[in-house]
Structure 1
Amino acid sequence: MMLTGVIPPVCTPMTPEHEVDATSLVRLIDHLLEGGVDGLFVLGSSSEVAYLTDAQRALVLETVVGHVGGRVPVLAGVIDMTTPRVLEHARAARAAGADALVATAPFYTRTHPTEIRTHFRILADRGGLPVYAYDLPVSVHTKLTADLLLDLAADGALAGLKDSSGDDGAMRQVILGRPAGFSVLTGSEITVDSALAMGADGVVPGLGNVDPHGYVRLTSAAARGDAAAAKEEQERLVRLFQIVRVGGSRMGGSSAGLGAFKAALCLRGVIDHPTTALPQIPLNADETRRIEKLLAAAGLL
């Protein structure tokens, strides 16, 4: 399954009581599909997967897969600390009807590259669906090297890569050495035009929840060779991405970023509440007003 284009990592709307808001989630899916996205990635970082219970994960998967109804591929994050736990999530994703799995390296435990290779090969062998590696060293504390990824790609253990490492040099190595059919997707919202120019196949942008149309315009411009239009759209999105810094130093990066995405979605009328999972710090009224101004400047209100 060769993935290209815009595959947003879908936010998980929540009620004020911190339960999954399935009604808002359905509206968010419609918002993304109407924006022209090429796929959906649920239960990733922007989905707050690390905060969700297994029951909440199941509800998200069932809601999204059921509502999408095969219109676009649905990738399911099976992110967890060790191989046995990841395999449990893979079984649930397959049963729910997901089209592919997305997994990081194991974490919390201290692993060796040989163990990481084993982890992905077991998931590919037993998971029953194509596997995409998620390179996220800021959270996993392990960098998936180009050599490791290309080794797994050559074996057929991996179908592609979501690169959120910030290491464009390593991503380029993967692009240059990958086998046919191996998708490389950048996870950076602010360097999509340059990633596409070096040969990436698409983007998995958290900010794409807020403005899917913008990322679709960007990738479409790049695909038709209009570098100037792609650059112009990218620069507008860079300015919009300032919403993730509104929380400043009084909260963690996840609280600021995920809180900003949800506040923006609430201001745009897509979801009912900007609630983030515990123990994240919520944005205050002044911060929400600043996000509103940035949305207006981007032409989204």
Structure 2
Amino acid sequence: MTTATKLSGVIPPVCTPLTPEYEVDTASLTRLVDHLLDGGVDGLFVLGSSSEVAFLPDGHRKVVLDTVLGHVAGRVPVLAGVIDMTTPRVLDHVRVAAEAGADGLVATAPFYTRTHPAEIALHFRKIAEAGLPLYAYDLPVAVHSKLGSDLVLELAAEGVLAGLKDSSGNDAGLREVILGRRDRAVPSFSVLTGSELTVDSALAMGADGVVPGLGNVDPHGYVRLFRAASAGDWAAARTEQERLFRLFGLVNAGGPHMGRGSSALGAFKAALHLRGVIDHPTTALPQIPLGDEEIAVVGKYLAEAALL
């Protein structure tokens, strides 16, 4: 659910379907959006990690924005990732996202460059000048720096940040932000977990929602989990989380033949292809694609979860 001041619920990071020629498959993308909306999601996050944002040329990014925002037409909020190495590059993406009509922005700290917390704060303040709600994306595995709780809460109190997507895997840090939000009286600040395997735990701590990559494959499951938790039915939430935990095993379908990212993104796309949502399971270069045997493994996970 969404209010004028706070984002909550299930906000999947939308995969980017590609043709075999590595162009954006807009027909498949609109079907994927419909699949997610039919699942009852509360918002969409395009151009994030599960969207393969790091692999997409700027032209592809714009196609994704225009396609999704045009198709959603205001039915749910759409957050746009403006992820890039340094502030000037990010601000270029901000302008494109704002012109496309994005409802909010998602940005990491700068990366490749080695930045001081004061520079990270300046980075977010400059992005916020665009006037759109800005969500910080804490992703140390890719950015190689952890967003400190004090910095996040300081920027929240200033009104620079509207929320946090925490993909750090640090549950203590997540709890520190949730408690700090209360202590500093910034209740409108939205805390979203990106750790899709511990959503019930995060919600029990006080998180407002989840941004699950696996939500592309099974949005209905994450919506059931969130609604059960919201109703205080923690047993049902745990049962749904455990089912999704088992389904998440499909990300290992690539085995030792490729990187974890190639395997996971390839598995998400293979699952969407097997479910008839997208036309091709193509992943962006230089990721290694799943082979037929590996796609068959994904199919077994879907069958066990009654998704085929």
For the aligned pair, the TM-score class normalised by the smaller chain equals over 0.9
1:89 aligns with 2:93: yes
Listed as ranges, the matches of 1:254-273 within 5 Å are 254-273=261-280
1:140 aligns with one of 137, 143, 150: 143
In the alignment, the residues of structure 1 paired with residue 298 and residue 53 of structure 2 have an alpha-carbon distance, to the nearest angstrom, of: 24
Which residues of 2 match residues 1-301 of structure 1 at below 5 A?
A: 1-125=5-129, 127-178=130-181, 179-301=186-308
1:150 counterpart letter in structure 2: L
TM-score, normalised to structure 1's length? 0.99
Distance 1:247 1:207 in 2: 16
Aligned-residue offset at 1:249: 1.8
Aligned partners of 1:207 and 1:261 also within 8 Å: yes
- Give me the whole-angstrom Cα distance separating, in 2, the residues matched to 1:197 and 1:248: 33
State how far apart, in whole Å, the 2-side matches of 1:182 and 1:129 are. Answer: 14
- Structure 1 gaps of 5+ residues are none
Q: Percentage identity across aligned positions?
A: 73
Distance 1:299 1:158 in 2: 40
Count of residues in correspondence between the two structures: 300
Rounded Cα–Cα distance in structure 2 between residues aligned with 1:121 and 1:206 = 28
1:221-255 deviations in Å (ceiling 9; x for gaps)? 00000000000000000000001011112111110
Write out the 4+ residue segments of structure 1 that deviate beyond 4 Å after TM superposition. none
The one-letter amino acid of 1:280's match is Q
The one-letter code sitting in structure 2 at the alignment partner of 1:140 is V
> For residues 122 and 256 of structure 2, what CA distance do their matches in structure 1 show?
39
CA contact (8 A) 1:94 1:128 kept: no
Q: Which runs of 5 or more residues in structure 2 are unaligned?
A: none
Per the alignment, in what secondary structure is the counterpart of residue 184 of structure 1?
strand
* Superposition CA RMSD, Å: 0.5
Provide the C-alpha distance between the structure 1 equivalents of 2:93 and 2:256, rounded to a whole number of angstroms. Answer: 34
Q: What SS class does the counterpart of residue 29 from structure 2 fall into?
A: helix
**Matched residue type, 2:180:** G
Q: Could you say what secondary structure the match of 1:62 adopts? A: helix
Report the TM-score, using the length of structure 2 for normalisation.
0.97
